């Protein structure tokens, strides 16, 4: 309707750090939008692979949950495989990523419904919310040094971790939508 103004607003949850809670609100909003975009997705579509070596939507959804929990474990100083499995019920490699050039999706993700993946993301998000509510703005400048699997040492701040979680989620969200488009258009069928 002409003359009507649509109001768009973004409200962060309450917490000790407005910045941390804004990053959390971003993740929550993106998750809500993703859930709406995928509400009708089938297990077949979730495990469809455009070609060998490429990610499936299911792999990417599991990856979103795993990466979020992993980085919060890094921030809190307890990033171990045992803690990942205890916190999320899956390990850091259970998303199958990265796949080798001719790789296929992990069997453990075969046939799972979207509800499984959404619950996995929400389970991780509950942990994220609990941790971030305790952060103060001054905490966001704190740095953590970690050693990557390849031996490279890396120093990251808590604010970088929150930034990375947001950009990581949004980037893979776009990838998921692209794979959905490819799935619908496969074999010349729209």
Residue-wise pLDDT tens digits, 113-125: 999 999 999 999 9
CATH number of the domain that 158 lies in?
Answer: 1.20.120.450
Q: Domain range spanning residue 27? A: 18-188
DSSP output for 127-151 = HHHHHHHT--GGGGG-EEEEE-TTS
H or E element: which one contains 156? strand 153-157
What percent of the chain stands above pLDDT 70?
Answer: 93
Query: Average of pLDDT values for 176-180?
Result: 97
Q: Rounded to the nearest 5°, which phi and psi values hold at 48?
A: -70, 135
Q: What is the pLDDT of residue 186?
A: 86
Q: What is the pLDDT of residue 46?
A: 98
If you ran DSSP here, which 8-state letter would residue 54 be given? S
The tokens for 31 are 């998750």
Per-residue pLDDT tens for 63-91? 999 999 999 999 999 989 999 999 999 99
Q: Rounded to the nearest 5°, which phi and psi values hold at 115?
A: -55, -35
Query: Average of pLDDT values for 96-110?
Result: 95
Q: Is residue 4 part of a domain?
A: no
The tokens for 125 are 């998000």
pLDDT of 188 higher than 80? no
pLDDT of 132 higher than 90? yes
Is the separation of the CB atoms in 4 and 16 below 8 Å? no
For the whole model, what pTM was predicted?
0.91
What total of structural domains would you count in the chain? 1
Q: How far apart are CA 100 and CA 86, in angstroms?
A: 27
Banded pLDDT at 147 (limits 50, 70, 90): confident
For the beta carbon of residue 50, count every other beta carbon within 10 angstroms: 13
Banded pLDDT at 1 (limits 50, 70, 90): low
């Amino acid at each position: 309707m002409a003359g009507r103004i649509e109001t768009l607003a973004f409200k962060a949850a309450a917490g000790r750090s407005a910045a941390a809670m804004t990053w959390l609100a971003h993740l929550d909003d993106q998750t809500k939008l993703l859930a709406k975009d995928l509400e009708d997705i089938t297990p077949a579509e979730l495990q469809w692979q455009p070609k060998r070596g490429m990610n499936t939507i299911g792999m990417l959804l599991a990856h979103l949950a795993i990466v979020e929990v992993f980085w919060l474990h890094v921030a809190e100083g307890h990033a171990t495989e045992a803690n990942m499995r205890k916190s999320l019920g899956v390990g850091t490699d259970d998303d199958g990523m990265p796949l080798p050039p001719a790789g296929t999706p992990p069997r453990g993700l075969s046939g799972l419904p979207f509800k499984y993946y959404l619950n996995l993301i929400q389970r991780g998000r509950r942990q994220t919310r609990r941790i971030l509510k305790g952060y103060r703005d001054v905490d966001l400048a704190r740095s953590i040094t970690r050693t990557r699997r390849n031996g490279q040492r890396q120093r990251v701040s808590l604010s970088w971790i929150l930034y990375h979680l947001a950009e990581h989620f949004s980037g893979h969200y776009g990838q998921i939508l692209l794979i959905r488009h490819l799935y619908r258009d496969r074999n010349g069928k729209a």
